[in-house]
A and B are shown apart, each in its own frame.
Chain A
Amino acid sequence: MTRLLAAPEAELVFAALLLTLLAGLVLALLAARSVLTCILLMSVFSLTMALWLMVMDAPDVAFTEASVGAGVSTMILLGAALSSTDVIPSVRPGRFWFPAVACLAAFIGMALALSDLPVFGDPGSPPSSYVGRLYLEHTPHDIGAPNVVTAVLASYRGFDTLGETSVILAAGVGVLLLLGGSLNSRDPVSEDVSLRISAGSPVLSVAARLLIPIICLYAFYVLAHGEFGAGGGFQAGVILAAALILHALVFGVRETMRALPVGVVRSCAALGVLGYASIGFIAILHGGRFLDYDALLSPVFEAGLPSSHLAGGHHHWGQRLGILGIETGVMLAVASTMTAIFYAFAGRVSRSDEAGAA
């Protein structure tokens, strides 16, 4: 079979084409004069970005970008934009030129560094040579999980990820502090009209009833499968939150809040981070260091377990258990935080609607 381009080069050309599409979307965003258009363009941008990341061999990131960018953040943006004006007035030229020149200068500054950057796809480039390669080489021996991204995220750099998860929880707390909303689910959230699509349509409710359990199941599959393929706690958490948001969109936020009360969601967000950190402390109690999963199981106990695959004779059940444990914590924290944020925005929308009607 003759090919126009050799496979590796075709990949690079395809990536460059998709990147051109992304830049075009940014241009469209720059020119957009309506907030709704901006939000939808942002959503399309995220989805295209996910495609591009897939071509760039980053399925984990693509997965996250598709579920976060095109799913949850679009919903949050829509929730926040619903009751504000849609039209964006044009900028006065006097206020435009100085930032424009500054951005142009930033662009030129970055472009000047171009000659020092490695060639696109260069296998021997400094970023791909040292630590990245070490992770690839040592993961089967150290961790015993095929997915190196999960191994780095959850085990090698588990402490870093604990910080990230805490930042997400902190952001959730920030939103709740700003938007308020009491713990009591019977509180003002009225029958929301704005955030609900085609209220009472049988087609949607049947489709949603079919889909929501499958999406939840899929979230747990992504969580458990994160060691072997693309996926992990972050993706699973966002997918779970997306299932809950879908429920809220079809059946109304009030129904969702009855199924999953606000208090439960908030406690779960904190519990997720707590669970993550406590796995670190359990490792300390077993004589290891913080988040040292090898210390989670005693060597005697671990020797009795069957050898895990791809481990090359090493037993990695402690790592397995630790990674699954912290990923569960991450999923709980991310899903609950995203849901709590959505609840806060949805509650605001219905309240401001009431104020508008009164």
Chain B
Amino acid sequence: MTLALALTPYVYGLGFFMMAAGLLIALTSRHLIKRLIGLGVFQTSAGVFYILLSKVSGGTAAIRLEADSPAARSLASRLDAAYIATHGVDGVVYSNPLPHVLILTAIVVGAATLAVGLSIIVRIRETYGTVDFEELAALEAKALRDGREDEA
């Protein structure tokens, strides 16, 4: 348990670092596609955080094994009996399945929304001829200036 205690700040810290780095890519990159990739990293890292919470030490995937089947017995042989009795379900210790469900659907939805973002980028490129954030900002500023001059 002391090893797990030492690893805790490290793994959560890495997860948070990945989130912050993804956000940084999404906020500062000049290429719009790289911005979207950064957003994807951010989203996946949020998933990492969920999965980190779901891990149970010595656990196995949340696919129920028959009690006393060879697989269940071989898993049980790696852990001490008191641990299994406290934390196991029917003699096997499982990791928490709930975060898995949430992240599974989030990944597929993430890919679909990534496609929406990319199609917006494709339209931007076709309309303005660039996907560079700075150039787009300059174009927008110019359009705003022109609009104001037209009003005046």
Contact = CB atoms under 8 A, between A and B. Distances in A.
Contact-size category for B: 35 or more
Interface string B52-86: 11111111111111100000000000110001001
B73 to A, nearest CB: 15
Interface stretch (A124-132, A201-209, A274-282): A124-132
Interface string B98-142: 111101110111111111101111110110001110100000000
Nearest to A100: B24
Interface string B1-15: 101110111111111
B54 A23 contact: no
B63 A157 contact: no
Contacts of B95: 56-58, 128
A118 B53 contact: yes
Interface in A107-140: 107, 110-111, 114, 117-125, 127-128, 131-133, 135-137, 139-140
Contacts of A85: 31, 130-132
B97 A136 contact: yes
A69 B110 CA distance: 9
A91 interface: yes
A264 interface: no
Given A35-B31, A59-B61, A120-B52, A23 B18 contact: yes
A45 interface: yes
A8 B5 CA distance: 13
B108 A64 contact: yes
B55 A120 contact: yes
Nearest to B13: A111
A144 to B, nearest CB: 10
A133 B110 CA distance: 27
Contacts of B4: 9, 12, 119-122
Interface of B: 1, 3-5, 7-25, 27-31, 33-34, 36-38, 40-41, 44-45, 47-48, 51-66, 78-79, 83, 86-87, 89, 93-101, 103-105, 107-116, 118-123, 125-126, 130-132, 134
Contact of A171 (B30, B89, B113): B113
Contact of B53 (A100, A125, A148, A171): A125
A258 interface: no
A90 B101 CA distance: 39
A336 to B, nearest CB: 12
A260 interface: no
Given A9-B3, A92-B134, A167 B112 contact: yes
Contacts of A102: 27
